[in-house]
């Protein structure tokens, strides 16, 4: 699988298997299916509650540890150095895979305060120091953030020793945070696109469906290729063997004209999933 290179030379596979909302008891089987399908990049988080199941799959899949790239995230609610440090050690224990390839701050604010007036700049510096320490100690191979806006990133860059290597953001057709992506790429921060299929909402969008037909690919494949052509890492999530395999079979190109059309596509309807903070329209920001 193709890779992008992080600031410190670590290589990150451009398609990762997302595990959000996969229960711990199901995570082992799902991750094993993903690895069998060809994924070498697995994305989890403390908040997902499935690190143990993911780690079991990594240990039992038959692949050498060095062949796999595993990401987890410090819970958004942990906003002190001490709590973040403890949580990283807990993730290492739950995963039980020797080291973690990438650890992110899951969100600049606790989820209940997502995109609110309180920005937690000082607190995120403290959390970042815990990540820097884990990195220096070799517990993790790379460190980064998730859901950070430009000023959140500048706060870390201006006040900390190590620059974020990754920013994982919501990015899909109908929601492309172009300003954040541009800032990150200009500053050598790799952008990861989570929910590239818009948490399934893209599958019901007529404009996206028609574009997929044009290229004779599935809607999911079109969505994943879209994020790849933005030069981001794509993190699709699926639980069925068919969809897991389909999502990694992306070997076509979208024309420049069609990319422009897709970038301009109006925001799509998340339906019943709009209650999640990241899908709430009032929280959208570039």
| Superfamily of segment(s) 3-271 | NADP-dependent oxidoreductase domain (3.20.20.100)
Instruction: Give the tens place of pLDDT for each residue, 59-112.
Output: 999 999 999 999 999 999 999 999 999 999 999 999 999 999 999 999 999 999
User: Under DSSP, is residue 184 helix (H, G, I), strand (E, B) or coil?
Assistant: helix
User: Phi/psi of residue 123, each to 5°?
Assistant: -65, -40
Rounded to whole angstroms, the Cα distance separating 176 from 221 reads 17
The pLDDT value recorded for residue 267 is 78
The pLDDT value recorded for residue 276 is 82
Quick one: DSSP state of residue 164?
-
The angle formed by the CA atoms of residues 250, 252 and 256, to the nearest 5 degrees, is: 125
Instruction: Give the tens place of pLDDT for each residue, 8-28.
Output: 999 999 999 999 999 999 999
Q: Which of 48, 135, 194, 226 is catalytic?
A: 48
**286 pLDDT above the threshold of 50:** no
Quote the pTM value: 0.96
189 in Cβ contact with 163 (< 8 Å): yes
String of DSSP letters for 235-278: E-B--SHHHHHHHH-------HHHHHHHHTPPPPP-GGGGGSGG
Is 48 a residue of the active site? yes
| Sign, Cα dihedral of 90, 91, 96, 102 | negative
Rounded to whole angstroms, the Cα distance separating 21 from 82 reads 27
Tokens representing 156?
Answer: 């870390």
The pLDDT value recorded for residue 274 is 81
Beta bridge partners of 70: 42
- How far CA 49 is from CA of 19, 45, 100, 143, 150, in Å, comes to 10, 7, 16, 20, 29
Rounded to whole angstroms, the Cα distance separating 173 from 228 reads 12
Rounded to whole angstroms, the Cα distance separating 271 from 117 reads 26
Rounded to whole angstroms, the Cα distance separating 220 from 208 reads 10
Rounded to whole angstroms, the Cα distance separating 106 from 144 reads 9
Instruction: Give the tens place of pLDDT for each residue, 17-59.
Output: 999 999 999 999 999 999 999 999 999 999 999 999 999 999 9
């Amino acid at each position: 699988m193709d890779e992008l290179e992080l600031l410190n030379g670590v290589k990150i596979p451009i398609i990762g298997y997302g595990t959000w909302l996969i229960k711990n008891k199901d995570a082992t089987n799902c991750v094993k299916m993903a690895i069998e399908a060809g994924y070498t990049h697995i994305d989890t988080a403390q908040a997902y509650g499935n690190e143990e199941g993911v780690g079991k799959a990594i240990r039992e899949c038959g692949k050498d540890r060095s062949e796999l790239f595993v990401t987890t995230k410090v819970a958004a609610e942990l906003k002190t150095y001490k709590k973040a440090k403890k949580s990283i050690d807990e993730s290492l224990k739950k995963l039980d895979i020797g080291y973690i390839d990438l650890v992110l701050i899951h969100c600049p604010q606790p989820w209940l305060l997502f995109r609110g007036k309180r920005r937690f700049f000082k607190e995120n510096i403290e959390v970042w120091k815990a990540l820097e320490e884990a990195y220096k100690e070799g517990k993790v191979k790379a460190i980064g953030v998730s859901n950070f806006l430009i000023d959140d990133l500048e706060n870390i860059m201006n006040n900390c020793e190590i620059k974020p290597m990754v920013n994982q953001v919501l990015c899909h057709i109908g929601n492309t945070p172009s300003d954040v992506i541009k800032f990150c790429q200009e500053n050598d921060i790799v952008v990861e696109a989570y929910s590239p299929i818009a948490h399934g909402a893209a599958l019901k969008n007529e404009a996206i469906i028609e574009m997929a037909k044009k290229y004779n690919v599935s809607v999911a494949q079109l969505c994943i290729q879209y994020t790849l052509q933005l030069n981001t890492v794509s993190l699709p999530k699926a639980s069925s063997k068919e969809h897991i395999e389909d999502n990694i079979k992306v070997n076509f190109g979208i024309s420049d004209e069609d990319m422009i059309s897709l970038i301009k596509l109006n925001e799509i309807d998340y339906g019943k999933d709009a209650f999640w903070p990241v899908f709430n329209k009032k929280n959208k920001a570039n």
